Structure 1
Amino acid sequence: MLTISRNVRLLGWFNFAGDFRLYGPIMVLYFAQVTGSYAAAASLLAVKKLSSAAFEVPTGVLSDRLGRRGTMIAGAVVMVAAHVGYAGAPGYSLLLAAVVLEGLATALWSGNNEALLYDTLLEAGRPDEFARHSGRVNSMFQIALALAAPIGGVVAGAWSLRTVVVLSILPQVLCVVIAFGIREPLVHGPLESTALAHLGSALRGIRGNPVLRRMTLVSALRYSSESAAQLSPVFVAGLWPLWALGLWRTFGHGVSFAGFRLSGWVIGKAGAARTLLFGELFDNVANFVALIRPTVFSPVILGSPAYGLSTIAQQTLLQREFTDRERATMGSLASLLGSLLYALVALGAGLVADRWGIVAGLFLIQAVLLIALPLAWWVHTHARRG
């Protein structure tokens, strides 16, 4: 019980510190200021996504073979190095190195941290509590995002964009300190003889499990739909004054926070598969209503009102199906597929938006997300324990 309480508490604060980035809303502006080009700034964001995708599978294998705590610490140290690079960059080259480092750090955490939480509960014989604890841990992301955005805007206005980035190093240093306090859960199951054999075993495990196969695709499709976050501000700016965009973001994070906090209770009552299905259905309907006839009320329902509930339900279903010895690798494979789909959907939606307008681009993203509904329905009727 002590290890569960300690790891859950520290994971929550780790997530808060990791996403307390004052530069969040102005990162593109900072990149453009340093490089002198918006095109160069956009290319840096693209490289960050690509580097994260490239490192996904190797870091997942590393986590399964070397341990959750060490992988978490490594990611925190690399993230500090990335932020130091951002803060001190005189031009494009150092920023490029920094975004690659951030991509590596993100990959080190992506499959690892959820596996750390699940393994902690599994060791104590309490894996059925995953949804409740994961909802609390992940809600800390939303608090950090909601608080950091307005503070960063004030600091940027009073001092400079670079000051905002420099101050954002401090929470990342705190992540290193927190990670050292994590206790390593026991490793379950023997490891394969080599990293390649381990990866092959993980791939066969996904291919041979129909529920896991479909859930991996649902996870990837949901992640690809997050590309709407890059286009949605353009839509909202056509309906609300520019100064209100920050309030819109804060409202969205607040709704997500509530969803994460309530997810354990909802999943306990309705089951993970049913929560995922109806969460996705609700979000699809809400977004189509918001887009089909835009009004001043559309931004309030646009996005993913059920994001917190659906995300924890998705993670619960995935963690139940992952094998103990390949848990992080399987999670990283799902993240890799999601990153690839994200890039394709974002590019396609951008091209459609340029040709037919922002509403058409957002509709394309919703059309892609619709593919997840029949898959979620199948999981609802076949997944074990909810």
Structure 2
Amino acid sequence: MPARRPSSVDHTVRRLSWFNFFGDFRLYGPVMVLYFAQVTGSYTAAASLLAAKMLSSAAFEVPTGVLSDRLGRRGTMTAGAAVMVAAHAGYAGATGYGLLLTAVVLEGLATSLWSGNNEALLYEALLGAGREDEFPRHSGRVNSMFQIALALAAAVGGVLAGVWSLHAVVVLSVVPQVLCLLVALGVREPRVRGPLESNAWAHLGSALRGLRRSPVLRRMTLVSALRYSGESAAQLSPVFVAGLWPLWALGLWRTFGHVVAFAGFRVSGWVVGRVGAARTLFFGELFDAVVNLVALLKPTVVSPLLLGSPAYGVSTTAQQTLLQHEFTDRERATMGSLASLLGSVLYALVALGAGLLADRWGIVVALLAIQAVVLIALPLVHRQARGSCVRMTDAR
């Protein structure tokens, strides 16, 4: 009896899983700033390159979302992978600031091509098969590969940089991006989008009108942006951890955080299926807020293990589930890109403000300020969770 041919959904999930793994398996991750400083001869120049990458990603967000909705998910995903290969080749071959700047702008473009597009690809593959209720499980499985890649890369990259050189680690990091491109070429295009608007401006206007008409979508877009702004704490957290742990243990701390996130993503489908997406997000955010306050207000040697977002995996899957249910089929990626753009703006503002607070009043005050911004999302999520409970009661 011939073997059963895997379904289109199973094929897409496997491809996206490996795509995410190779895309984030960047051995230079723990030493990127050091490499930039080595090439440019300045930490200020290195920091400006990181800022340029964030700004370029934000600038390209909406145009690439419109591109995805109009030209297709597979083509947009493949284009992003090709641009990412070019960016990493630029990193490896850079001899000065100019080529590094070009490379970080290319990486920002590639990131924006994937933002909104890849989650839309997964949801539409499930929708086309009538299996959209399985999105939390498959989204958790696919996104967990980001975290295991980051954990392995952080552990291996630091060792290789010490044994060989910073440049050798950057050169090796080109290989996973080439594999990422090969995986993207094998992805199948879902076919569930509705008729398109006459032009790109009309398409963007339609997405904005959809956002304006839906109070749930507006609320969840703001929640998504607030949560993303909280990730700016990752830039400052090592300063707090270094005051409690030896310097050599910072890599282990990063790896531990990625492993916890990986576990959260793997169980997120099960949790969302039993608790509901809105309540999962609410309790996940509440849990993270409590443990972060404990870690910051009473620092001990255990505090680094609590700091961050232990519930990140389950909360992110729940958030994506709520957003994808509200996005329209023909503007799905554009709406996702609008949410990412708002998140990038808030991220930049919060990071800048936290840096100023850290210089004036110390790292703990800065991290507490970031937590205060993220806490604004909690009543919004609670309102969504209450609304979900009311709808479930009415349905019974």
By the TM > 0.5 criterion, same fold? yes
Code of the residue aligned with 1:39 in structure 2: it is T
In structure 1, the residue corresponding to 2:27 is in which secondary structure?
coil
For residue 310 of structure 1, the aligned residue among 305, 311, 315 is 315
Q: Indicate yes or no: 2:298 matched with 1:290.
A: no
Indicate conservation of the 8 Å contact 2:278/2:318, yes or no: yes
The CA distance in 1 between the partners of 2:359 and 2:212, in whole Å, is: 38
Cα drift, residue 385 of structure 1: 6.9
Residue 37 of structure 2 corresponds to 32
Q: Indicate yes or no: 2:90 matched with 1:85.
A: yes
The CA distance in 2 between the partners of 1:318 and 1:146, in whole Å, is: 27
Residue 230 of structure 1 corresponds to 235
Q: Indicate yes or no: 2:249 matched with 1:244.
A: yes
Code of the residue aligned with 2:105 in structure 1: it is V
For residue 261 of structure 2, the aligned residue among 253, 256, 276 is 256
Q: Deviations over 1:272-293 (max 9, x none)?
A: 0000000000000110010011
Code of the residue aligned with 2:276 in structure 1: it is G
- TM-score with structure 2 setting the length: 0.96
Q: Deviations over 1:257-280 (max 9, x none)?
A: 110000000000000000000000
For residue 12 of structure 2, the aligned residue among 7, 10, 27 is 7
Residue 18 of structure 1 corresponds to 23
Code of the residue aligned with 1:58 in structure 2: it is P
For residue 324 of structure 2, the aligned residue among 296, 308, 319 is 319
In structure 1, the residue corresponding to 2:194 is in which secondary structure?
coil
Code of the residue aligned with 1:157 in structure 2: it is G
Residue 117 of structure 1 corresponds to 122
The CA distance in 2 between the partners of 1:12 and 1:385, in whole Å, is: 32
Gaps of 5+ in 2: 1-5
Cα drift, residue 382 of structure 1: 2.1
- TM-score with structure 1 setting the length: 0.99
The CA distance in 1 between the partners of 2:305 and 2:99, in whole Å, is: 39
Indicate conservation of the 8 Å contact 2:127/2:192, yes or no: no
Residue 212 of structure 1 corresponds to 217
User: Map of 1:139-178 to 2, 5 A cutoff?
Assistant: 139-178=144-183
Indicate conservation of the 8 Å contact 2:68/2:76, yes or no: yes
Indicate conservation of the 8 Å contact 2:216/2:326, yes or no: yes
In structure 2, the residue corresponding to 1:303 is in which secondary structure?
coil
Cα drift, residue 141 of structure 1: 0.5
CA 1:118–1:270 in 2, change beyond 3 Å: closer, same or farther?
Answer: same
The two structures, once aligned, show a CA RMSD in angstroms of: 1.0
For residue 62 of structure 1, the aligned residue among 58, 62, 67 is 67
The CA distance in 1 between the partners of 2:106 and 2:200, in whole Å, is: 22
How many equivalent pairs are there? Answer: 386
Indicate conservation of the 8 Å contact 1:271/1:385, yes or no: no
The CA distance in 2 between the partners of 1:8 and 1:360, in whole Å, is: 42
Q: Deviations over 1:18-52 (max 9, x none)?
A: 00000001000000000000000000000000000
Code of the residue aligned with 2:119 in structure 1: it is E
In structure 2, the residue corresponding to 1:201 is in which secondary structure?
helix
For residue 192 of structure 2, the aligned residue among 187, 190, 194 is 187
Q: Deviations over 1:150-191 (max 9, x none)?
A: 211111111110100000000000011000110000032111
Cα drift, residue 247 of structure 1: 1.1
Q: Indicate yes or no: 2:338 matched with 1:333.
A: yes
For residue 102 of structure 1, the aligned residue among 87, 102, 107 is 107
Code of the residue aligned with 1:329 in structure 2: it is T
In structure 2, the residue corresponding to 1:192 is in which secondary structure?
coil
Code of the residue aligned with 1:230 in structure 2: it is Q
The CA distance in 1 between the partners of 2:168 and 2:141, in whole Å, is: 31
CA 1:70–1:276 in 2, change beyond 3 Å: closer, same or farther?
Answer: same
Indicate conservation of the 8 Å contact 2:263/2:313, yes or no: yes
CA 1:28–1:284 in 2, change beyond 3 Å: closer, same or farther?
Answer: same
The CA distance in 1 between the partners of 2:386 and 2:155, in whole Å, is: 43
Code of the residue aligned with 2:77 in structure 1: it is M
In structure 2, the residue corresponding to 1:325 is in which secondary structure?
coil
Indicate conservation of the 8 Å contact 1:211/1:382, yes or no: no
CA 1:187–1:65 in 2, change beyond 3 Å: closer, same or farther?
Answer: farther
The CA distance in 2 between the partners of 1:309 and 1:226, in whole Å, is: 16
Q: Deviations over 1:309-349 (max 9, x none)?
A: 00000000000000000000000000000000000000000
The CA distance in 2 between the partners of 1:222 and 1:375, in whole Å, is: 12
Residue 277 of structure 1 corresponds to 282
For residue 201 of structure 2, the aligned residue among 186, 189, 196 is 196
Code of the residue aligned with 2:8 in structure 1: it is T
For residue 353 of structure 1, the aligned residue among 320, 337, 358 is 358
Gaps of 5+ in 1: none
In structure 1, the residue corresponding to 2:330 is in which secondary structure?
helix
Residue 77 of structure 2 corresponds to 72
